[in-house]
């Protein structure tokens, strides 16, 4: 995916949607979604179950299309390009827009090979000499605050790690690809309180380098980690604002009712 240079007027935002609609068969899951997401911030998608949060997140790397019987109209512009243009390479798109899922999904191979899995998938065999591969692994694991814990067991299977460590590893696996955007679908839902706290701290550190969009059902988490929040209901964007503003002084009655726990 070739992106526009930072001087382009279209790159004031990392992600823009215009009149985005999506149907699963005859069911319309997204309705005229228009939103701008700024770079190097954490933006949370919040709202009750079934409101379209995860569907919208998956539009940003076109992963919805894996599920079949999906129809999409409108525009999703990532880093200056409409991801629905005919000449867009999905492989290149997903290099630029990485994704972390609800449950950690490390491959049943070594920690070392897990970190390199993505870059090996996207490059020819032998593209990087051993010392460069070693540097990539160490850099990625340091960036996710995992290096000191695993540096002496890089050849062990990643599935032996704790859930917290596995989720950090899944984030590390994206980094050698040098993404610009990282999507996270409830990344702490499988973790205990201490693991959640540490992964949230990591997410806060990562925003210095990446645009992060996170789906969460946890209102306290949205308030803790995000700079901006987008409240969704029945496939529509109801309100998008600074997180503090949205929680303390929402402009829409539906937002206020949801935050107060009166539905959802």
CA distance 241 to 237: 11
Residue 208 per-residue DSSP state: T
And the tokens for 135? Answer: 């540097």
Select from 49, 45, 51, 56 the least CA-distant residue to 22.
56
Topology given in CATH for the domain delimited by 9-259: Rossmann fold (3.40.50)
List pLDDT tens digits, range 38-50: 999 999 999 999 9
Indicate the pairing of strand 70-78 with strand 81-82.
Answer: antiparallel
Proportion of the chain above pLDDT 70, given as a percent: 95
pTM for the predicted model, two decimal places:
0.93
pLDDT at residue 35 greater than cutoff 70: yes
Give pLDDT tens digits for 69-119.
Answer: 999 999 999 988 999 999 999 999 999 999 999 999 999 999 999 999 999
**Token reading at 14:** 């990392």
CA separation for the pair 144, 160 (Å, rounded): 18
DSSP category for residue 248: H
The dihedrals phi and psi of 74, each to the nearest 5 degrees, come to 100, -165
Cα–Cα distance, 146 to 249 (Å, whole number): 38
3-class SS string, 133-179: HHHHHHHHHHHCCCHHHHCCCCCCEHHHCCHHHHHHHHHHHHHHHCC
Q: DSSP assignment, residue 72?
A: E
Q: Residue 2 above 80 pLDDT?
A: no
pLDDT at 170 over 80: yes
pLDDT digits (tens, 9 = 90+) for 109-148: 999 999 999 998 888 777 789 999 999 999 999 999 999 9
Report the DSSP pairing between strands 181-185 and 97-100.
parallel
First to last CA, the chain: 38
Of 2-6, 93-97, 184-188, 239-243, minimum mean pLDDT range: 2-6
Domain parsing of the chain, residue ranges:
9-259
Rounded to whole angstroms, how far apart are CA atoms 234 and 257?
Answer: 15
pLDDT at residue 122, rounded to an integer = 81
Contact partners, residue 237, CB within 8 Å, separation at least 6: 33, 34, 35, 230, 231
What is the rounded distance in angstroms from the CA atom of residue 69 to the CA atom of residue 87?
22
Cα 53 from Cα 237, distance rounded (Å): 10
Average pLDDT, the chain: 93
- Residue 7: pLDDT band by 50, 70, 90 thresholds? very low
**Do residues 144 and 169 touch, judged by C-beta distance below 8 A?**
yes
Cβ 176 vs Cβ 210: under 8 Å: no
Among 147, 151, 184, 178, smallest CA distance to 58 is for 184
């Amino acid at each position: 995916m070739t992106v526009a240079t930072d001087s382009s007027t279209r790159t004031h935002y990392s992600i823009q949607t215009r009149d985005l609609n999506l149907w699963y068969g005859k069911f319309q899951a997204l309705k005229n979604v228009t939103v701008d997401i700024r770079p190097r911030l954490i933006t949370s998608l919040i709202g009750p179950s079934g409101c379209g949060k995860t569907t919208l997140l998956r539009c940003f790397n076109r992963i919805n299309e894996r599920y079949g019987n999906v129809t999409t109209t409108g525009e999703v512009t990532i880093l200056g390009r409409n991801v629905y243009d005919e000449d867009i390479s999905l492989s290149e798109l997903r290099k630029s827009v990485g994704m972390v899922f609800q449950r950690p999904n490390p491959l049943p191979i070594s920690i070392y090979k897990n970190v390199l899995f993505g870059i090996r998938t996207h490059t020819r065999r032998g593209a990087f000499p051993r010392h460069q591969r070693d540097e990539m692994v160490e850099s990625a694991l340091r960036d996710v605050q995992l290096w000191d814990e695993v540096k002496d067991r890089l050849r062990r299977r990643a599935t032996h790690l704790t859930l917290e460590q596995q989720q950090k590893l899944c984030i590390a696996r994206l980094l050698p690809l040098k993404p610009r955007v990282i999507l996270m679908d409830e990344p702490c839902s499988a973790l205990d309180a201490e693991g959640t706290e540490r992964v949230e701290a990591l997410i806060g550190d990562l925003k210095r380098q990446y645009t992060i969009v996170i789906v969460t059902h946890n209102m306290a988490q949205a308030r803790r980690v995000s700079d901006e929040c987008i409240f969704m209901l029945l496939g529509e964007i109801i309100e998008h604002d600074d997180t503090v503003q949205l929680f303390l002084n929402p402009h829409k009655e539906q937002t206020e009712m949801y935050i107060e726990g009166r539905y959802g």
